[in-house]
Amino acid sequence: MESIGRYEVVQRLGSGSHCDVLLCWDDDAESVVKLFRIRGRRLKRRIAKGDDELAARVLQNFHNKANLTASLNHPNIINVIECALAV
């Protein structure tokens, strides 16, 4: 099983335009969580082509969405636990 930080990937749920959605187990919280992972290869290609500005916008957009979601409180909306850059 793949690990991403403290999370153990259980299965891939799907993908969006820039990220994969993974179902994970969080040992610290002892619960199942949904993890959104930006696909690094796509960003690396943009950076290699000299498109640092687009790569920065993709990362900023991802953080903006995470922060917006974190500010919401509703039973049908996921809770944001963490938004971090894994290298």
Whether residue 53 is predicted with pLDDT greater than 70 in this model: the reply is yes
Q: To 10 degrees, the CA torsion angle through 58, 29, 69, 53?
A: -10
Q: Are 23 and 32 in contact (CB under 8 A)?
A: yes
Residue with more model confidence, 48 or 53 = 53
8 Å CB contact between 21 and 36: yes
Specify the pLDDT at position 77: 82
Position 87 confidence tier, pLDDT thresholds 50, 70, 90:
low
Interval 16-32 mean pLDDT: 87
